[in-house]
A and B are shown apart, each in its own frame.
Chain A
C-alpha cells in the first residue's frame, strides 16, 4: 500500500543555498556583467532583475574523459542504405557524432551561460562595497530626533499618565497594612463584648469600656483613607534619540538650450543610481527636482527630464532656490540632505564665484554630500575650475566628469568608493 504525501505546499527555494553558492563563486564575473549592463539599460527600468552571461568555459567542471581521435565503433539504428564494407565520407565534425556521448560533455562549448538574477541580487551587486559618505558622522553628531518609550512607573506625574490599576493596587496594599492590626483587635473586642452581654450578670463597667474601645478602633480604621497621594502611580516615559532615517535628494540640472536630450538622459541615469543607492540606506527618500536656466524652478519629474527650455545659464539661481527649500522644508538636523548637480559646464562667467560662495557658506555645511557631474565632451570652463578648488577643501563635495554613458557607473563607483576611504580615514 502506497503512502501519498502532498508536497506542493512545501516551501520553494530548496536550492536557494546552492544558487547563492553559485553567485558567490562567480561574483567577479557577475559583477562585471552587472556593471556592463547598467549602461545598456533603459533608464526607466532600473528596478528589475538582470540577465547575466558568464562564459561557460569558466564554469565547466572538468572530469577525465576521452577526446576525439583513435578508433571507435558505434552502432546506429535505422539503416536504410548501407551494407557491410561500405565506405562513407566522414561527416563534418559535430554533425554526425550523435552516438558519442563523451563529446557532448563539452559540446556546448563557447556559448555563454546566461541566467537571470533578481532585483535584490542585482542591486546588491551594483552597490557592493559602496557606502554613503559621512553617514557615521551624521549618527554621532546630529541626534536630534527623539522617540519616547515606556520606562516603568513613577510616583509623580501628570494626571493623564495616571495608571489606575497600579494606583488602586497600592491603595489596597496600604489599607491592609495600616488596618490589619486594628481590625484583629476589633474582632477580639467584639467577641469579648458578645461574651459579656451573654453572661448572666453583665459587668456594666466592662461593657462601657469595651464599647468605647470599639468605637475608637472603628474610628481609627475609618480614618485610613481609601486612596492616598502616596498610592498614586504614573506611567513613566523617557525619550531617547533616534538616528534620522529621512533623506532628501536634490536633483539640480541645467536645462538651458545647450543641454540636449542625450545629455539629460545621462544625467538621469546618474540620478537614478543615486536614488537607488539612497533607498538602500534610508527608508524614505524624498526627491526635489530643481531645474534652471537663468532662473531656477522646482518642478516635477516629468518636467525635469523632458521639458525643453532655452536661454542662458545662471547656476547660482538653482543653488539659491535649493538653499531656500532647505531652510523652509528640510531642517538640516532632521534630514539627511544629498544633492547632485548635473550640467554641461556652461555658466555665466560672473556667476561662478557666486556659486562657490553659496555652496561654501550655506549649502555644504548643511548637506551630507554634494556631487557635481559635468557631462560634456568639451574643455572645462570656469565653473569646473571654481568647483575644483572647492572640492579640495571640502570632503563632502565631489566633482566628476562624464563624457558618455559608459562613464556613469564607474564615476558613480568612484564617488562612493571615496566615501569608504574617507570613512576609514576618520575611524
Chain B
C-alpha cells in the first residue's frame, strides 16, 4: 500500500539504510534518527527515549513485575514469572517484541532477538507511537505522572523491603495479598491524584504515619461519647458510598498499623497508575500501529528502506492487525490492535476522501486536515468515547460486526443488531459499552460502617443487567476482613433498592435465613 501523502517530495535514493537482518548499535541509532525526523514531521510530541536492549530472560523478568523495571517483591510475581517461563519454554507463547513504560524519559525494552526491520518497527511503534500517546492523552496527563513513577516504585520497593525486615515476610505478604485482592477497587475514578516526587513522598510518608495514627479515628471517636448516643440523629458513615475501597481502608480501617496503611497506599497508587492503560488499550495500540505504519512507509517513499525491509515489516504488521472472524479457531475476542489501527486509518480516510455517508455521520471531520483530526482524537478520548465518537458505518461493514444478546433466562442467543442501516447505532453503542470499564468491572462500593455497633463494614454490589458476582467474592471478603479487622458484609442491591446479603465474613448465621450463595434474581 502506497502512502498517499502529498508532501513526500524529497526522494532520496542515495543513502539507503541497511536492512540487516542483524542489527548493530550504530544501525539502531541511524534508524532512530530517521524515525525521529519523520515523527517530528508528523508532529508527534514525545518524551525523550531511553531504549534498552534486553534478552528473553529479562523480558520474562519484566513480564513478572507488571512490566516495570523495579517493583516490590511478592510471590505472585514469582508465580507469573514461572508461568511465562513455562509457556515460553514449551513454545505456547511468543514474547512481546517490546515493552514500553509510561515514564519520563520513556523507557522501551527491545528484544535482542529481533531483526533490524523488527527493531525499526518496534522503535516507531513504542518509542514514538506509545510514547506520544502517554504524553498527550488526557487520561494519562491527568492520572499519571511519568516523571515520578520510577522513583515511586523504587520508594515502594525499599519500603516493602524495610517492612519485611521489621515485621517479617509473612506479615507483609498477608497485607499485600489482601490489597491485591482489592486492587481493582483502589482507583479514584473522578478525583485527580497529585504529582509528587520520591523525596516528597518519603517525607510525607513519615508525617502521614504519625498523623494518621495520632488522629482519633472516626470509629474510635464514638466510643467515649456513647452515653449521649441516643440523643444524636444517626449519622451515616461514610456519608456517601465510596468507590475507592482501598482508599477508604487506608484512611479508616481501625486496627491497621501505620506501615500497613502505607502498604495499602502503595498498592492503591500502582493500581491508579495503570488505570488509564486499562481504559485506552484500543486507542493506545491503534495509535502506535497507525504511526509505525506511517513512519516506515514515509521512509520507504523517501527511498531509505529496501524492498526486503518492507516485506518483512508488512508481514509483521499484517499479523499484528489481523482480526479473525467469530467462527475462526483463533478467535479470542476483538483484537485491540486491529480495531484501533483501522479506526485511526478510517478517520484519516474520512478526512481525505469522505463519502456522502461520512459527511452525514461525521460532518465535523469530513474533509478536514487528517493530521490534526487524528491528534485531536488521540488526545481527548478513551476507548469507550473514541468508539462512540468515531466508529463509522463503513468500518462496521468492514468488520462485519453483529451484536449478540445473551440472557440466561432465554434458551437461545438473540442477534439484536448487525452492520446494516438499522443496526449501525445499536452496534456502535454496544461496542462502546463493551469498553466501558464500569461495565466490565463489577460496581462495588463501601456502603457503610456500623460505627455504633460492631464496627462491621458493608460493601454494596449493584449488578448490571442481573449479572451476578462470581463465587470468588467469598475469598475476597476474607481478605477485606483481614484489612478491616472487624466483620465485613457484602450486600447486593437490586434495581428496586432492596438489598440482600451475599456473604459475610466471618460467616454468621443469617437471621432471615437467606442462602448465602447462589442467589438468582
Contact = CB atoms under 8 A, between A and B. Distances in A.
Interface of A: 1-8, 10, 12-15, 17-25, 59-80, 82-90, 98-99, 101-102, 106, 113-116
A289 to B, nearest CB: 39
Interface stretch (B8-16, B202-210, B468-476): B468-476
Nearest to A83: B418
Contacts of A79: 326, 400-402, 418-419
B86 A86 contact: no
Interface string B378-421: 00000000000000000000011111111111011111111110
B422 interface: yes
A3 to B, nearest CB: 5
Interface of B: 25, 28-29, 32-33, 36, 48-55, 57-58, 60-61, 64-65, 73-79, 81-83, 85-86, 105, 109, 112, 123, 127, 169, 173, 177, 180-185, 323-328, 331-334, 399-409, 411-420, 422-423, 427, 430-431, 433-434, 440-442, 444, 461, 463-473, 475-476, 479, 520-521
B326 A73 contact: no
B73 A21 contact: yes
Contact of A69 (B400, B467, B472): B467
A18 B73 contact: yes
A63 B182 CA distance: 6
Contacts of A8: 53-55, 58, 112
B36 A1 contact: yes
Contact of A85 (B81, B86, B408, B415): B415
B58 A10 contact: yes
A113 B403 CA distance: 36
Given A2-B49, A98-B331, A80 B400 contact: yes
12 contacts: A15-B64, A17-B78, A18-B64, A19-B81, A64-B442, A64-B469, A67-B470, A71-B409, A76-B401, A78-B325, A79-B419, A86-B415
B127 A2 contact: yes
A165 to B, nearest CB: 49
Contact of B53 (A7, A23, A78, A85): A7
Interchain residue pairs A-B with the least CB separation, the first 5: A78-B325, A22-B78, A70-B467, A18-B78, A67-B470
Contacts of A90: 406, 411-413
Given A18-B75, A115-B82, A3 B50 contact: yes
A74 B183 contact: no
Given A4-B28, A79-B418, A87-B414, A66 B51 contact: no
B86 A115 contact: yes
B304 to A, nearest CB: 17
A94 B465 CA distance: 21
A88 B411 CA distance: 9
Nearest to B423: A84
A280 B414 CA distance: 67
Nearest to B466: A70
Contacts of A114: 86
A66 B58 contact: no
Contacts of A14: 58, 61, 65
Contact of B465 (A21, A65, A71, A115): A71
Contacts of B78: 15, 17-23
Contacts of A63: 181-184, 472, 476
Given A1-B36, A18-B78, A21-B173, A72 B467 contact: yes
B36 A2 contact: yes
* From B60, B61, B182, B404, residue with most partner A Cβ within 10 Å: B404
Nearest to A77: B399
Contact of A71 (B28, B52, B440, B466): B466
A53 to B, nearest CB: 11
Query: DSSP class of A's interface residues: helix, strand, loop or mixed?
Result: loop
A23 B65 CA distance: 17
A71 B32 contact: no
A84 B413 CA distance: 12
Given A19-B82, A63-B476, A2 B51 contact: yes
Contacts of A65: 441-442, 469-470, 472
Given A63-B183, A78-B327, A106 B405 contact: no
B415 A82 contact: yes
A64 B472 contact: yes
B405 to A, nearest CB: 5
Contacts of A76: 326, 334, 401-404
Contact of B468 (A59, A66, A74, A82): A66
B230 to A, nearest CB: 37
B459 to A, nearest CB: 9
B416 A66 contact: no
Given A59-B79, A73-B405, A83-B418, A78 B400 contact: yes
Given A3-B50, A18-B74, A19-B78, A82 B57 contact: no
Contacts of A25: 75, 173
A62 B49 contact: no
Contacts of A66: 442, 467-470
Contacts of A74: 403-404, 406, 430, 434
Given A64-B185, A66-B442, A70-B468, A7 B404 contact: no
B417 A78 contact: no
A71 B407 contact: yes
A156 to B, nearest CB: 53
Given A77-B323, A77-B399, A7 B54 contact: yes
Given A76-B402, A106-B472, 7 more contacts: A4-B29, A12-B55, A22-B76, A83-B420, A90-B406, A98-B332, A113-B83
Contacts of A86: 414-415
* From B82, B431, B469, residue with most partner A Cβ within 10 Å: B82
A17 B173 CA distance: 13
Nearest to B127: A2
A102 B470 CA distance: 10
Contact of A77 (B49, B400, B416): B400
Contacts of A77: 323, 325-326, 334, 399-401
A420 to B, nearest CB: 24
A218 B421 CA distance: 129
Contacts of A82: 402, 415, 418
B430 A75 contact: yes
B51 A4 contact: yes
Nearest to A91: B413
Contacts of B323: 77-78
A67 B419 CA distance: 29
Contacts of A115: 82-83, 85-86
B519 to A, nearest CB: 10
